[in-house]
Amino acid sequence: MSGAPLWVVVPAHEEAARLGGTLRALAAQRDRDFTLLVVDNASKDATGAIAREFAARAPFPVEVIEEPEKGVGSAVDTGFRYAIARGATLLARTDADCLPGPGWAGAARAALAARPGLVCGRITARRDEHGPLGRAAFAGLVGLAALFGRLRPQHARRHGYRAPYRMHAGNNMAITAELYLAVGGMPRRPSPTDRLFLNAVRRHTDRISRCRGMVVENSTRRLRAYGLTGTARWYLDQGSGTHGTDDPR
């Protein structure tokens, strides 16, 4: 799969305050042989303008499109299908409040070359948003969600799944275009979408890999918005309580 066209898709809803950091992290990748696609998802702030300004000086091709239907699932699905229609055979995604490490794109490409399918990366907490306690709380929630997913009876392989459950963070994933289309794409709905998409892939194939070299620093702002209990409910797929399902993204 060497030389296969890679597109990186970044859905962004009113991320003017954080998108610049994500773009700088992508510009700092060691492997910059990709096309970046920013999907401006019904933003009312300067998100689209920031992405277009970056495009003029980026070290790789950048395209910016709009998706008026609010919801991270709609933005991701529109972006992936747009990229595939323009020749992408490999797709990677991160979010507009995340910081991919400098080896992220190269690790995604190598992982898909080694085992074409779905690749799940590793998420850690952003170091500029919380102190050690906040980052530890985030790590604990991610670990709890992963354990919950593995033990949840509905996720057992007897239900027709071809692969065991693995924690899948939508803001740090890579997939072949062929597999993305085969499973019907990302559910066009607000968050959470990751578990639904992962289970669609699990029903289709066992080619799901984990790549520790794909590291993304994840925003912990949900902790501030929802609190520890509310964030735990969200990660455990128990809803968002009184909060909107797509706010914060």
The answer to whether 207 touches 198, Cβ cutoff 8 Å, is: no
Per-residue pLDDT, 1: 45
50 in a structural domain: yes
243 in a structural domain: no
CA distance 129 to 151: 31
Per-residue pLDDT, 155: 81
105 in a structural domain: yes
pTM score:
0.88
Residue 109 maps to which CATH number?
A: 3.90.550.10
Per-residue pLDDT, 230: 60
197's tokens? 């998409």
Dihedral angle, C-alpha 231, 123, 111, 38, nearest 10 °: 80
185 in a structural domain: yes
Q: With left for phi above 0 and alpha for psi between -120 and 50, is residue 97 left, alpha or beta?
A: alpha
Per-residue pLDDT, 140: 83
- Please report, as a single letter, which amino acid is at residue 163: A
Per-residue pLDDT, 229: 63
Split into its structural domains, the chain has a count of 1
Closest CA to 246 of 173, 168, 190: 190
Per-residue pLDDT, 111: 98
Q: What is the mean pLDDT of each run of 10 residues along the chain (249 residues)?
A: 84 97 98 98 97 98 97 97 98 98 98 98 90 83 76 83 88 98 95 89 97 94 62 53 52
242 in a structural domain: no
CA distance 220 to 217: 9
Helical ranges in the chain per DSSP H:
19-27, 47-55, 72-85, 104-114, 132-151, 177-182, 194-204, 221-235
Per-residue pLDDT, 115: 97
248 in a structural domain: no
The single residue listed with the structure tokens 């289970």 is: 199
For helices 132-151 and 221-235, what crossing angle results, to 10°?
20
240 in a structural domain: no
Per-residue pLDDT, 227: 61
244 in a structural domain: no
Per-residue pLDDT, 190: 85
Query: Domain range for residue 138?
Result: 6-235
